[in-house]
Amino acid sequence: MSANNSMVTSSQFLISPFEHEEFAHDTGQHENLLFIHCRKTGLKAIIAIHNTTLGPALGGCRYWHYDTSGAALTDALRLSKGMTYKNALANIPFGGGKAVILAQKDQPKTPQMLQAFGAHIGRLSGTYITAEDVGMSLADMDEIAKKTNHARGTTAAGIGDPSPYTATGVFEGIKAALNHCYGNPTLLNRTISIQGLGLVGYQLARLLHVAGAKLMVSDINAIATQKAHQEFGAKVIPPEQAHSALADVYAPCALGAVINSSSIGQIQAKIVAGSANNQLASDEYGQALHQKGIVYAPDYAINAGGVIAIATATKQTAKQEIEARLHSIGHTLSEIFTIAAKQNLPTNEVANQLAQERLENAAKQMDHAA
Ligand code: NAD
C-alpha cells in the first residue's frame, strides 16, 4: 500500500458493489449489475437492472466523463431505480434499468466500442433494453443495434429524437394542472414562464403558443430566446428570474434542483410543471411546495412522453397511436393531484406511492400465477 491511497476520493470502489450505499439500502430492488470492460475497443460500461417486475428493464444509455468509476456506479444505480418508478407510473410494461458508458480522456467513442456494448446487451437476452440518453446520438444507437435487437430509438425501429413526445407530455401535464387548480384546462391567456428553450422547451413553447398562452422565456442562449420572441411573441426574461416571474405556471425545462432553499420563497406561480429531471433539490421541497399551496407536477410523471414513445414505437406504430398514449400523462397527473389534495400530501410522495403500488400489485399477481 502506498501513501497515495489516502488521496483516493472514490470510497465506493474500495468496497464491494454489494455494500455500495445505493445497492445496500435498496434491498430487494436492484436485481443485476454488469461491469463491462472490453480491452479490444476500450469500452468501459455499467449496466444496472433495477426491477423487472413489470417487464424487461428499459432505460437509456448515458455516455459521460465521470471523475471516478464510483461516481459512474452511483449514477447507474440511481438512474435505473428512477426508471423503474417512471415506467411504472407511465403504465408501460417495462421495468427499470440504465447503462452508463465511462468516457475515457484519450479515447474517443468509436463504432467498435458501441458495437461491443451492443453485443453485451445482446447477451442479456432482452432483460435490459437500451435507448438514447445524454451523450448519445441516433447514429450511436444505430451502431449498438448492429449487435443487438434490444435497442430502441434507432433509425430502423424507433422514433428518432424523443423530445417532441416529451414536450407533448408536458403540455398535457400543464393542462391537467390547470384543470386541477382552476377547474378548466384552457391555456388561453394563461401565462407560462419557460426556463430553458432546448429540444423540449422550444417545442413546448410552440404548443403553448398555438393554444393561446402568453409566454415568458429564458435561456442562457440568447439566440433561442430571440427566436421565441419573434416566432411566439414571447417576453424574454433573465434565466435567474424564471422561477419568480409573475406567471400561472413555472415550467423548468433546463436544469435540475431548481426548487431549492433560495428559489422556494420566490415562486409566484400556482403551478410548477416542466420537463427538467430532478427539479426538487431534495424531497423535502415537495413538502415545501405543498405547504405553499403550489401544485407541483412530479418531474418523472410529467416528462415520461419520451419513454412512452420509445416503448410504444415499432416500425408499424402510427404516430397518432403514440400521441394518443401521451394523454395518459394528463390522466396520471390528475389522479396524483386529486389524491394529494384529498390526503393532504405532497404530490411527489403520492407519485412514489402510486408507482410503488403498481409494482407491488404486479409482484402479487406474479406470485399468484406462479
Ligand atoms: P437541451 O439540452 O436541448 O436544452 C436545455 C436548454 O436549457 C438549452 O437551451 C440550454 O441553453 C438551456 N439552459 C442551460 N442552463 C440554463 C439556465 N441556467 N437557465 C436557462 N436555460 C438554461 O435539453 P432537453 O432535451 O430540452 O431537456 C431539457 C430537460 O428535460 C433536461 O433536464 C432533460 O433531462 C429533461 N428531459 C428531457 C427529455 C427529452 O426527451 N429530451 C426527456 C425527459 C426529461
Tell me the residue type at 313: A
Q: What is the pLDDT of residues 51-79, one digit of tens each?
A: 999 999 999 999 999 999 999 999 999 99
- CATH number for region 163-356: 3.40.50.720
pLDDT at 28: 60
Q: What is the pLDDT of residues 192-246, one digit of tens each?
A: 999 999 999 999 999 999 999 999 999 999 999 999 999 999 999 999 999 999 9
In this prediction, residue 5 has a pLDDT band, given cuts at 50, 70 and 90, of very low
- In this predicted structure, the answer to whether residue 13 has a pLDDT above a threshold of 60 is no
Choice from 152, 216, 241, 255 to test ligand 1 binding pocket (greatest atom count within 8 A of CB):
255
- Rounded to 5 degrees, φ, ψ at 177 are -70, -40
pTM of the model: 0.90
Decide: 301 and 350 in contact? Cβ < 8 Å: no
- In this predicted structure, the answer to whether residue 7 has a pLDDT above a threshold of 50 is no
Choice from 277, 280, 302, 326 to test ligand 1 binding pocket (greatest atom count within 8 A of CB):
277
Domain ranges of the chain: 6-82+94-145, 163-356
Q: What is the pLDDT of residues 23-47, one digit of tens each?
A: 777 656 799 999 999 999 999 999 9
pLDDT at 176: 98
- Beta pairing class for 214-218 and 95-102: unpaired
- Residue carrying C-alpha cell 471523475: 67
DSSP H or E stretch at residue 214: strand 214-218
pLDDT at 100: 97
pLDDT at 314: 74
- List C-alpha distances in Å: 161 to 134, 158, 249, 301: 12, 9, 26, 19
Q: Which string of DSSP letters, residue by residue, matches 116-145? A: HHHHHHHHTTTSEEB-B-TT--HHHHHHHH
Q: State the closest ligand 1 atom to the C-alpha of 195, by its place in the atom list counted from 1.
A: 20
pLDDT at 210: 98
In this prediction, residue 106 has a pLDDT band, given cuts at 50, 70 and 90, of confident
pLDDT at 97: 97
Q: What is the pLDDT of residues 151-187, one digit of tens each?
A: 998 888 767 788 999 999 999 999 999 999 999 999 9
pLDDT at 284: 96
pLDDT at 22: 74
pLDDT at 320: 81
Residues 6+ apart with CB under 8 A from 189: 212, 213, 214
- In this predicted structure, the answer to whether residue 6 has a pLDDT above a threshold of 50 is no
pLDDT at 14: 56
**How many angstroms separate the alpha carbon of residue 219 from the centre of ligand 1?**
10
Architecture per CATH, domain 6-82+94-145, reads as 3-Layer(aba) Sandwich (3.40)
Q: Is 303 in the pocket of ligand 1 (CB under 6 A)?
A: yes
Q: What is the pLDDT of residues 276-329, one digit of tens each?
A: 999 999 999 999 999 999 999 999 999 999 999 999 887 777 778 888 889 999
In this prediction, residue 15 has a pLDDT band, given cuts at 50, 70 and 90, of low
**How many angstroms separate the alpha carbon of residue 27 from the centre of ligand 1?**
33
- In this predicted structure, the answer to whether residue 122 has a pLDDT above a threshold of 70 is yes
pLDDT at 159: 78
Q: Is 227 a catalytic residue?
A: no
Average pLDDT of the chain, as a whole number: 92
224 sits in the region (left: phi over 0; alpha: psi -120 to 50; else beta) called alpha
Stretch 123-144: mean pLDDT, rounded? 94
**How many angstroms separate the alpha carbon of residue 149 from the centre of ligand 1?**
29
| Shared fold status for 6-82+94-145 and 163-356 | yes
**How many angstroms separate the alpha carbon of residue 171 from the centre of ligand 1?**
15
- Beta pairing class for 295-296 and 271-272: parallel
Report how far residue 180's alpha carbon sits from residue 329's, in angstroms, rounded to the nearest whole number: 14
- Rounded to 5 degrees, φ, ψ at 214 are -95, 135
**Which is catalytic among the residues 44, 81, 98, 270?**
98
